[in-house]
Each structure stands twice: as C-alpha cells, then as structure tokens.
Structure 1
Amino acid sequence: MFENERGGILITDEIEERVREIEESVRPLRCVTFMRDDFKIEDAKEVIAEAYKSEEHTKTLILGAKSFTVPAQNALLKILEEPPRNIVFILMAPNKSTFLPTVRSRLSLRQEQHKRTHETLPILLKTFDLAELFTFVKEHDRLKKHEAKGLIEQLMFQAIHIEKIPLTATQLEGFEKALRLIELNSRFQSVLVMVLINFLKEVKRGR
C-alpha cells in the first residue's frame, strides 16, 4: 500500500472499511487498531506503549480518527521517525490538513479520490437575516471538531455551487480563517458567527 516500509498516511472517507481491509490483508500477522473520533494525547501514549512491546514478526498499528490533536501528533513524532523493530504505522483521517507537516514528512501519504456529497442546508445565504443567523448558530453550537469543519465546508459548497454566489474576498477569507480557528479549538459558536455575518442582508446593503 505504501512505498515507505514504516507505513504511511491514508486520507479516506471510508476509515472503518479500510481498517477491515488492512486487517484482513496482514493476517496472520498481528494488527492492533486504535479507532477514535478525536485522537488525543492519551491515545498517543497508548499507541507508543503498544509499539514498544517486542515483536518477533511484523506488527501493524492502525490509527484511525476524524481528527488528531496537535499534542497527540507531537507525541508520536519520535516513534514515527524511528519506529521500533517490526512495527508498521498506518494513520488514517478524512482530510490531509488534519496532519501536521512534521507528521506528513515522516510517512508516505496516499489520498483516495472521492467525490464529496453535500446536502442542501435549510438556509439561503443570499437572503440570510439576523434572526436566521442566531437560530442557525444555536442549532450548531455543540459540534465536534470534524463536524464543525464539515459544516464550514458545506456552507462554502452551498454558497459557491448551489446558490452560485460570487463570493467577495472577505467571504472567502472568512471560510479559510474558520477552518484554521476550528483546528486551534476556538469556540465554534464564535467561528460560525464570523463566517455567517458576511452574508447578512444588512451588511451587504451597507457596502
């Protein structure tokens, strides 16, 4: 699957399916899987402990998650650079941007080609008003990190491809900044307001 014998990074929307395929492909050799929604520092410590258990034959460690925290990735850097004997690492996530450049530099990366599908949201950004903004934000203020990033991407897709709004530089920058802030664990309610306020009818009239 990967050119690097130490393993690699697989970018896929079908994490569970790919895990099952890899587990089948390496049998009868050992494969230990760590599946999480958000891969945290304590998960990284568990992986490191498993990696240092001596193995006579190759053991594959699969780390699959929708997001990996920065502390977790930093904790894994040394062992990814110099893995113990007979240990292979395979990291999986839906987005390449999930991984730090330092992690990506240590492993080969393969990205599955897939076509994202986005459902139409129950709002129209072209006619968005303040009341709708507050309602929408309230309904989406408790999302997990990967869900929050997905909603921002969904809003951008709707604006560009469904409503065909000619986005201003401010609106585009709002989407890009939102994804960065989510990765830094900023409060999603504030991030969502920052994005949506650029589409308010009142704001547009004042330009």
Structure 2
Amino acid sequence: MFANERGGILITAQVEERAREIEESRRPLRCVTFIRDDFKIEDAKEVIGEAYKSEENTKTLILGAKSFTVPAQNALLKILEEPPRNIVFILLAPNKSTFLPTVRSRLSLTQEHHQLIHEALPVSLKNLDLSGLFAFVKEHERFKKHEAKGLIEQLMYQAIHVEKLSLTTLQLEGFEKALRLIELNSRFQSVLVMVLMNFLKEVKRGR
C-alpha cells in the first residue's frame, strides 16, 4: 500500500474501511486507530501521548478523518518527522488538499482510484522573472476560492513533480500559508504574488 514500511498518507473515500483493513493486515502487531470526523488539536495530543508509550514491537497509529485542522497538523509535524522507535504513522483522508504541504513532505502519499492529472501551467518556476510573475498573476487574479486552492495545488505539483525542484522550507511554508489565506477569503492576487515571490528570490540568489 505504501512505498515503505514507515507508513504514509492514504487518500481514500473509505476511511473507516481502509483503517480496518490496515489493522487486519498488520496482525499480530498492534494498531491503535483514531477515527474522527474532524481531527482536532486534542486528538493530536492523544496521538502524541500514545506514540511515546514504549513498545518492543512495531506499533501502527492510524489517524483517519474527513478533515484535519491546521493546529492538529502543526502539532503532529515534529513526531511525524522523527517518530519514536517502533512507531509507524498512517494518515487517512478523502482529499489530498486536507493535508498541509509540510505534512505531505514528511510522508509518502498514495491515492486510490484516479489521481488528479494537472495540466502544465504557463509559467516556469525554475526560471521565473518579474514579467512572467505579473503576467501569470494578472491571468489568474479573479479566481474563486475553489479555483484558487486548485491553482496553488497545481503550482506545488508543478514545482515538485514537473520541474523537480528541491523546495526550501520557505517555499513549502508559502504554499501552506497560501491555502490558509484562501480559506480566510484573502485577496487571491496578493496570495499568488506571495507564493511566486519565493521562487523569484530563489532564482536571483542562484545567479
């Protein structure tokens, strides 16, 4: 199911069913499952407490929810990056956009059924200049909220999978902040400029 035995993220419409299947597949090793409608900060604290209970054998922590709040994901970041000995994390959710870019950068991601195919965007993040930045922003400044979130996802996909850039922490956090600002109904033109400026600066430093 995952690229390695350390677990990962599974995007599925059948969260509870997949959690049960994972439990069965890992027997006789222990699994502790946390299924919620909305995974909140108190749930994250419960998971962290369970993760630090010492285990002689591998223990899998399964976290499944329709949505994961930003505070909950931020609370889990450190332990996902450096899990305690013999602890494996598996996160389940219906949509990839549920997870912050910083969470996705720490775990392998598997998506059931047909993965979304992103069309190539008319911008090169690797070679971005000011004229290209402003032309791209002008073309997309009037996007609605769902379109805006989709475009940010496309930009991240293009950076990682198409242009194969090694993203800096600043660039990853820029994508994450953009998705939060869009949810708060911030002006998309400003959000898009913020994301793209991180790549413009990177080009200038490389020259």
Pick the TM interval, shorter chain: 0.5 to 0.7
- Deviation readout 1:85-128 (Å, 9 max, x if unpaired): 1000000100001001110010000000159xxxxxxxxxxxxx
Contact 2:145–2:182 (8 Å) recurs in 1: no
Distance in 2 (alpha carbons) for counterparts of 1:178 and 1:59: 35
Deviation at 1:174, TM superposition (A): 4.8
Contact 1:11–1:93 (8 Å) recurs in 2: yes
Give the AA of the match of 1:58: T
The residue correspondences of 1:151-190 to structure 2 (distance < 5 A) are: 173-177=144-148, 184=183
Q: Name the counterpart of 2:10.
A: 10
SS at match of 2:55: coil
Give the AA of the match of 1:176: E
- Deviation readout 1:4-59 (Å, 9 max, x if unpaired): 33210000001111011101001111000000010000000000000000001000
Report the CA distance shift for 1:178/1:6 in structure 2 as closer, same or farther (over 3 A). closer
Q: Name the counterpart of 1:94.
A: 94
State the TM-score, normalized to the length of structure 1: 0.58
Report the CA distance shift for 1:5/1:178 in structure 2 as closer, same or farther (over 3 A). closer
Deviation at 1:3, TM superposition (A): 1.9
Give the AA of the match of 1:11: I
> Does residue 66 in structure 1 map to residue 66 in structure 2?
yes
Report the CA distance shift for 1:91/1:174 in structure 2 as closer, same or farther (over 3 A). closer
Give the AA of the match of 1:173: K
Contact 1:63–1:90 (8 Å) recurs in 2: yes
Deviation at 1:2, TM superposition (A): 1.5
Q: Name the counterpart of 1:137.
A: none
Distance in 1 (alpha carbons) for counterparts of 2:184 and 2:34: 23
State the TM-score, normalized to the length of structure 2: 0.58
Give the AA of the match of 2:144: E
SS at match of 2:37: strand
SS at match of 1:57: coil
Q: Name the counterpart of 1:197.
A: none
Give the AA of the match of 1:42: E
Deviation at 1:173, TM superposition (A): 2.6
Give the AA of the match of 2:96: K
Report the CA distance shift for 1:81/1:10 in structure 2 as closer, same or farther (over 3 A). same
Distance in 1 (alpha carbons) for counterparts of 2:10 and 2:92: 5
Give the AA of the match of 1:7: G
Contact 2:145–2:183 (8 Å) recurs in 1: no
Unaligned runs of 5+ in 1: 116-168, 187-207
Unaligned runs of 5+ in 2: 116-139, 151-178, 186-207
After alignment, is 176-185 or 73-82 more displaced? 176-185
Q: Name the counterpart of 1:27.
A: 27
Give the alignment's Cα RMSD to 1 decimal.
2.7
Distance in 1 (alpha carbons) for counterparts of 2:46 and 2:100: 20
SS at match of 2:144: helix
Distance in 1 (alpha carbons) for counterparts of 2:42 and 2:97: 22
The residue correspondences of 1:15-164 to structure 2 (distance < 5 A) are: 15-113=15-113
- Percent of pairs identical after alignment? 77
Distance in 1 (alpha carbons) for counterparts of 2:141 and 2:183: 21
